[in-house]
């Protein structure tokens, strides 16, 4: 191959690399892990930091085993997926949420934090673009490597897999669903306790139609307490599955 052809190829490679990198905007939270995580989770897709993605969380974690977070992306249209991750957690991804046509793009949950970290909600809209909101949380840490509390209390022996919940009517035909599943949600990072967590949770209406789907990961807090906003008038069925293929079922009536 001629030298000029090599040069052209090299130039092309540089351009490809440059354009791929140009799509990752500078991080307003100045996280050391930002570029790496952005490449890993968003790849070639467009990413913007967007104030319409609202993330509510504490300034500092009072309980590293259970940090409350609420994501609200209702200001965005056509939300397909919400990915929540904590940059500096040993396992960054906390959950993926796919609200259906009858679910609002908002949810609440708790997670385990290992150290001070940015927490982000990435919201994918119909055009494939990711919209990001986030904030730092300060933490004394240790949430991911501490054995779950129920291990010592006997809670799971008697109540494993139990689902409790409640529905509240809200404005504009929306119902707030809050539910809790008794599950250890072991991260696998505490000595001698293998990973064991809920990895799928589906919400269905009374007719069995899918309202929303949530994919859970290790950092979700023990006995997950989840909040959803649904455009659904009646009963909500809950179908969950964990990493040992236990099938958990419940339903919440208005």
Partner 1 sequence: MRSLPVLLALLASLTALAAGHEYHLNGQKLADGVYVFVGAREHFSRANGGNIVNTGFIDTTEGAVVIDSGSSRLYGEQQRAWISGHSASRRIARVYITHAHPDHFLGSQAYAEVPQYALPATRASIAESGDRLSDNLYRLVGAAMSGTQSRTPNLPAGEGRVLIGGRALQLIAGSGHTEADLAVYDEASGTLFAGDLVFYQRTATTPNADIPRWLAALQRLEAIPYKTLVPGHGPVVQGPEAIAQTRDYLRWLQSTLQEAARKGVDLPELFEQPLPERFRDLALARVEFMRSAEHLYPALELDTLQGQGSH
Closest contact distance (angstroms) between CB of 186 and partner 1 is 20
- Asked whether the beta carbons of 205 and 167 are under 8 A apart, the reply is no
In whole angstroms, give the CA distance from residue 155 to residue 152: 8
What is the three-class DSSP state of 18? helix
Pick the binder of partner 1 from 149, 166, 209, 254 (CB under 8 A). Answer: 166
Pick the binder of partner 1 from 41, 49, 63, 80 (CB under 8 A). Answer: 63
In whole angstroms, give the CA distance from residue 131 to residue 127: 11
Q: Which residues pair with 119 in a beta bridge?
A: 86, 135
Pick the binder of partner 1 from 31, 225, 230, 242 (CB under 8 A). Answer: 225
Question: For residues 170-209, which are near partner 1 according to CB under 8 A?
Answer: 170, 176, 178-180
Pick the binder of partner 1 from 12, 25, 249, 254 (CB under 8 A). Answer: 249
Contacts of 183 (CB under 8 A, 6+ apart): 156, 160, 161, 197, 198, 222, 223, 224, 242, 248
**Tokens (6 digits) for 2:** 């001629």
Closest contact distance (angstroms) between CB of 56 and partner 1 is 4
Residue 252 lies near partner 1 (rule: CB under 8 A): yes
Residue 108 lies near partner 1 (rule: CB under 8 A): yes
CA trace torsion 110, 100, 82, 89 (10° rounding): 40
Closest contact distance (angstroms) between CB of 53 and partner 1 is 14
User: 13 or 56: whose CB is closer to partner 1?
Assistant: 56
State how beta strands 47-49 and 54-56 pair: unpaired
Residue 1 lies near partner 1 (rule: CB under 8 A): no
In whole angstroms, give the CA distance from residue 246 to residue 248: 6
User: 40 or 159: whose CB is closer to partner 1?
Assistant: 159
- Please tell me the count of residues contacting partner 1 according to CB under 8 A: 35
Q: What does the binding site for partner 1 look like in residue numbers (CB under 8 A)?
A: 56-60, 62-63, 66, 68-70, 108, 140, 161-168, 170, 176, 178-180, 225, 227, 238, 248-253
């Amino acid at each position: 191959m001629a030298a000029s052809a090599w040069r052209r190829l090299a130039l092309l490679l540089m351009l490809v690399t440059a354009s791929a990198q140009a799509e990752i905007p500078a991080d307003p939270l100045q996280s050391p892990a930002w570029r790496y995580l952005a490449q890993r989770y968003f790849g070639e897709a467009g990413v913007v930091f967007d104030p319409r993605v609202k993330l509510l969380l504490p300034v500092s974690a009072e309980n590293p085993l259970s940090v409350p977070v609420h994501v609200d992306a209702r200001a965005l249209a056509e939300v397909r997926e919400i990915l929540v991750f904590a940059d500096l957690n040993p396992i960054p991804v906390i959950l993926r949420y796919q609200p259906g046509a009858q679910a609002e793009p908002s949810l609440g949950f708790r997670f385990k934090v290992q150290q001070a970290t940015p927490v982000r909600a990435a919201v994918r809209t119909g055009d494939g673009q990711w919209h990001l909101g986030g904030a730092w949380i300060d933490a004394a840490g240790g949430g991911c490597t501490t054995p779950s509390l129920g291990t010592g209390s006997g809670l799971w022996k008697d109540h494993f897999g139990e689902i409790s919940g409640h529905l509240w009517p809200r404005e504009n035909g929306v119902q707030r669903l809050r539910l809790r599943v008794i599950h250890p949600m072991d991260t696998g990072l505490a000595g001698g306790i293998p990973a064991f967590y809920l990895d799928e949770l589906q919400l269905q209406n009374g007719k069995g139609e899918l309202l929303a789907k949530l994919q859970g990961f290790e950092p979700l807090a023990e006995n997950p307490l989840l909040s959803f906003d649904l455009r659904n008038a009646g009963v909500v069925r809950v179908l969950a599955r964990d990493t040992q293929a236990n099938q958990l079922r419940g339903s919440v009536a208005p």
